[in-house]
C-alpha cells in the first residue's frame, strides 16, 4: 500500500474518521491507530506483522526492566539483550546472505572452495526504520534520557505508526509517546498544512521522481555502456534529483498524514543540495537518520570529545555503518566509505585552516557546486546494482563522447524544474502555504484531488514503489 496509491488514500480517510470519532477516548483511538498500522504493514506482507509486534513487545519489557534494575551490571545486560535482539533480527533478514556470500568469496580467493549458505527469507519493508525506532527507546531509558512508557498499547503504536512505518522519519519515543497519550486537537492551521504537504509530496513523487526514474535513470543504470558522456551524466543528475524527490515526498506525505491525526513530526529534509559542505549536507539530508547516527553511534564512538584521531575514526566508522544500514551490498559500503572519507578530509582541512573570516558568495557558490557533484558521484554507487555497472556509468561519462539524442526534452524540463524548486526561498513556500490555508477546507480538498489526478495523467499510469522501502 503505497502513499501515492488510491488504497492509501482510502485508508487515511477511514483512519481519520475513526480517530476523530474516538478522539475523546484514549484507549479506543490508540487501538484504532494500532489496527490501522498493522493493516497498512500487512498490505506488504502480513507475515511480518508478528515480527513488528515481537520487536516492540521485547523492547517495551526490557526498558521497564532497565528502569527498575538496581544493579549497573543488570542494566547493561538488559541493554545488551535489546541491542542483540534488534540487531540480530536485522542480521538475519538483511545481512545474513550478504556476509555468507562475501565469506564464501573470500575463502575462494584463498584457495578454499566454499558454497555460501543462504536463507530463503524476504526482506521486511522498513525493517531498518522500525528497528532503529525501538532500539533508540531502550537506549534512552538506559541513559536516563526518558522514563519508560506506562502504556504498552501506546508503545506498540509508536513503533508501528503507519505514516512512519515503511520509511521514516525515525521519530523518537520521547517526542511521539507523549502525543499519543494526550487528547489530540486538529486545528484548521494543521489541517491546511497537512493537505499542502501531501499535495507537494505527491507532485514530487509522481511528476518528478517517478518520471525521471522511468524515462532516464532506469535506462542509464541498466546499460550504461550504450549511452554517451552527456547521456550518462544526465542519468546521474536524474537519479540525484529522483532520490531526493522520492524520499522527501515520502517524508512530506508522512508528516502530513500524521498532522491529520493531530501528531507533529519534525522535518526530515531541508534543501540538501544547497549545502556548501558534506557536513552541512548531512544536517539537511534525512535529518532523522543523521541525528540518530550522531546520537547513538558517532558520540558513543568518541565523537569530537577525545581528540582528532578519535573523531576521524568515529566519522569514518559511522558513515561506513550508515552505508551498510542502507543495504547489504558492497556498493552501499562504498557509498558510505566515500562520505566517511570526505567528511574526515573536511575535518582535517577545517582543523588546518583554523578560524577564518566568513567566505564570500562566490566561494560559497563554488563549494555548493563541488558538494553537489561529490554527492551525485556517490549516488552512482548507491543506485548501481553492482560495481561493474557503477564503473560503467563513470566510464561512459569519462569517454567524452558527444550527443544527447537519448535525453528527452521532457527529462531536461523536469530536471530544470527540480533544480529550480530546490532553490525556492523558504518565504515563498510559506506564503504559498498561507494562501492555501486561507481557502475553505472543501476547496483545499478539491485542489488536492485535482493535483493527484493531474500529476498522474502527466506522469506514469502505474505507481512506483518508494526507493527507501527497500531499507
pLDDT, tens only, 223-263: 999 999 999 999 999 999 999 999 999 999 999 999 999 99
pTM recorded for the entire structure: 0.89
337 — pLDDT class (breaks 50, 70, 90): very high
What per-residue confidence (pLDDT) applies to 355?
63
**pLDDT for 77:** 96
pLDDT of residue 456 exceeding 70: no
Query: Which long-range contacts does 440-449 make (Cβ < 8 Å, 24+ apart)?
Result: 441/188, 441/191, 441/192, 444/191, 444/192, 444/195, 445/195, 447/195, 447/199, 448/195, 448/198, 448/199
Residue 140 grid coordinates: 534512552
Render pLDDT for 96-133 as a digit per residue (tens, 0 to 9). Answer: 777 787 787 777 777 777 777 777 777 788 888 899 99
Which residues have CB under 8 Å from 359's CB, separation 6+?
276, 367
Q: 349: pLDDT confidence band, cut at 50, 70 and 90?
A: confident
Q: How confident is the model at residue 33 (pLDDT cuts 50, 70, 90)?
A: very high
Active site residue 422: no
Q: Assess contact for 135 and 83: CB atoms under 8 A.
A: yes
Per DSSP, the residues of 285-319 read SSHHHHHHHIIIIITTTTTTSS-HHHHHHHHHHHH
Catalytic residue among 326, 339, 373, 422: 326
344, 315 Cβ separation under 8 angstroms: yes
Q: Residue 356: which pLDDT band, with cuts at 50, 70 and 90?
A: low
Amino acid at each position: 500500500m503505497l502513499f501515492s496509491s488510491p488504497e492509501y488514500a482510502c485508508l487515511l480517510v477511514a483512519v481519520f474518521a475513526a480517530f476523530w470519532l474516538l478522539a475523546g477516548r484514549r484507549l479506543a483511538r490508540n487501538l484504532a491507530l494500532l489496527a490501522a498500522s498493522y493493516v497498512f504493514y500487512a498490505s506488504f506482507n502480513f507475515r511480518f506483522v508478528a515480527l513488528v509486534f515481537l520487536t516492540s513487545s521485547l523492547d517495551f519489557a526490557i526498558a521497564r526492566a532497565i528502569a527498575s534494575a538496581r544493579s549497573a551490571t543488570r542494566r547493561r545486560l538488559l541493554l545488551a539483550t535489546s541491542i542483540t535482539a534488534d540487531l540480530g533480527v536485522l542480521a538475519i533478514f538483511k545481512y545474513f546472505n550478504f556476509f555468507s556470500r562475501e565469506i564464501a568469496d573470500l575463502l575462494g580467493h584463498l584457495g578454499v572452495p566454499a558454497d555460501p549458505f543462504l536463507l530463503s527469507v524476504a526482506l521486511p519493508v522498513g525493517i531498518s526504520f522500525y528497528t532503529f525506532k525501538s532500539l533508540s527507546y531502550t537506549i534512552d531509558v538506559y541513559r536516563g534520557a526518558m522514563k519508560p512508557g506506562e502504556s504498552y498499547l501506546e508503545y506498540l503504536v509508536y513503533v508501528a505508526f503507519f505514516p512512519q512505518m515503511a520509511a521514516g522519519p525515525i521519530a523518537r519515543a520521547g517526542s511521539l509517546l507523549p502525543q499519543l497519550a494526550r487528547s489530540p486537537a486538529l486545528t484548521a492551521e494543521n489541517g491546511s498544512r497537512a493537505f499542502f504537504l501531501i499535495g507537494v509530496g505527491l507532485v514530487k513523487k509522481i511528476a518528478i521522481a517517478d518520471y525521471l526514474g522511468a524515462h532516464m535513470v532506469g535506462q542509464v543504470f541498466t546499460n550504461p555502456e550504450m549511452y554517451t558522456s552527456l547521456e550518462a551524466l544526465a542519468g546521474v543528475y536524474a537519479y540525484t534529483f529522483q532520490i531526493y524527490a522520492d524520499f522527501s515526498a515520502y517524508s512530506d506525505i508522512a508528516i502530513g498524514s500524521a498532522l491529520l491525526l493531530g501528531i507533529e513530526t519534525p522535518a526530515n529534509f531541508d534543501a540538501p543540495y544547497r549545502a556548501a559542505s558534506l557536513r552541512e549536507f548531512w544536517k539537511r539530508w534525512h535529518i532523522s537518520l543523521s541525528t540518530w547516527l550522531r546520537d547513538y553511534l558517532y558520540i558513543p564512538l568518541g565523537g569530537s570529545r577525545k581528540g582528532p584521531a578519535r573523531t576521524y575514526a568515529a566519522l569514518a566508522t559511522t558513515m561506513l555503518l550508515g552505508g551498510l544500514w542502507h543495504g547489504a551490498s558492497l556498493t552501499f559500503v562504498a557509498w558510505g566509505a566515500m562520505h566517511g572519507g570526505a567528511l574526515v578530509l573536511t575535518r582535517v582541512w577545517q582543523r588546518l585552516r583554523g578560524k577564518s573570516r566568513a567566505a564570500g558568495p562566490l566561494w560559497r557558490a563554488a563549494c555548493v557546486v563541488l558538494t553537489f557533484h561529490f554527492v551525485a558521484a556517490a549516488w552512482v554507487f548507491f543506485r548501481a546494482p553492482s560495481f561493474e555497472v557503477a564503473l560503467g556509468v563513470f566510464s561512459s561519462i569519462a569517454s567524452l563522447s558527444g550527443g544527447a539524442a537519448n535525453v528527452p526534452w521532457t527529462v531536461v524540463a523536469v530536471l530544470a524544474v527540480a533544480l529550480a524548486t530546490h532553490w525556492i526561498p523558504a518565504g515563498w513556500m510559506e506564503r504559498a502555504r498561507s494562501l492555501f490555508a486561507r481557502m475553505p477546507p472543501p476547496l483545499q480538498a478539491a485542489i488536492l484531488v485535482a493535483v493527484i489526478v493531474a500529476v498522474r495523467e502527466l506522469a506514469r499510469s502505474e505507481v512506483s514503489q518508494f526507493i527507501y522501502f527497500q531499507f
